[in-house]
Amino acid sequence: MVARPATDKKWYLIHSKPRQESVARTQLERQGYQIYLPLIRTPRRRLGKRTIRVEPMFPRYLFIRLDTINDNWAPIRSTVGVSNIVRFGTEPAPVPDELVDTIRARDDRSGIQDLPLHEFQPGQVVRIEEGPLMGYEGIFVAPSSRERVVVLLDIVGKSARTQIEIEKLGPADG
């Protein structure tokens, strides 16, 4: 007879109700389940001011660690904020431990990750997506600080260098 480990816990995905990931996490943790909700900081512009929002990395999804033998799965679906357990066919779909470990390794001390800004290469054509120069295309020159970059613009037939916040840039369409 093969000895079975005391626990055979695996990660699974919970599909939450819209914008209720945190509610589902809180309610499931109160019931004693191990939950992981990956969060990211994202820069936003609201009323012309730069703000940072903390939001789920995967909207409407959170991870739950369960044992198919010892854990009671029944209360999960009726938990406030939970829509369902993600399944393939009739079986809950396990998520590889390595994937969850990789995501968790990027968390800072407060359990939140910073969203990496798009990395442009020198010489790459970029488009300004916000502000008075919105719609103009230029050539990415170099970063000038953590949040600003130098862009070469062709204005009235003359090249002009300007500094612009990196969050206002996007790749030029093809």
Residue 2 lies in a domain: no
**Domain containing residue 134: CATH number:** 2.30.30.30
Which of 70, 94, 114 is the last residue before a domain boundary? 114
Q: Which residues on adjacent β-strands are paired with residue 63? A: 13, 36
Residue 49 lies in a domain: yes
- Per-residue pLDDT reduced to its tens digit, 94-132: 999 999 999 999 999 999 988 666 678 888 888 888 777
Q: Are residues 61 and 147 in the same domain?
A: no
Most confident region among 66-70, 132-136, 166-170 by mean pLDDT: 66-70
Domain extent at residue 27? 9-114
Per-residue pLDDT, averaged over 1-24, amounts to 82
Q: Are residues 110 and 133 in the same domain?
A: no
Q: Could you give the CA distance from residue 27 to residue 155 in angstroms, rounded to a whole number?
A: 56
Q: Are residues 132 and 49 in the same domain?
A: no
Q: Are residues 143 and 106 in the same domain?
A: no
Q: Is the pLDDT of residue 23 over 70?
A: yes
Q: Are residues 100 and 153 in the same domain?
A: no
Q: Are residues 66 and 36 in the same domain?
A: yes
CB-based contacts of 59, cutoff 8 Å, min separation 6: 19, 21
Residue 69 lies in a domain: yes
Residue 144 lies in a domain: yes
Q: Are residues 37 and 107 in the same domain?
A: yes
Residue 119 lies in a domain: no
Residue 29 lies in a domain: yes
- Per-residue pLDDT reduced to its tens digit, 59-80: 999 999 999 888 888 899 999 9
Q: Are residues 32 and 94 in the same domain?
A: yes
Residue 35 lies in a domain: yes
Model confidence band, residue 143 (pLDDT cutoffs 50, 70, 90): confident
Which of 94, 114, 134 is the last residue before a domain boundary? 114
pTM over 0.75: no
Please, what is the average pLDDT of the chain? 84
**Domain containing residue 27: CATH number:** 3.30.70.940
β-strands 82-85, 61-67 pairing: unpaired
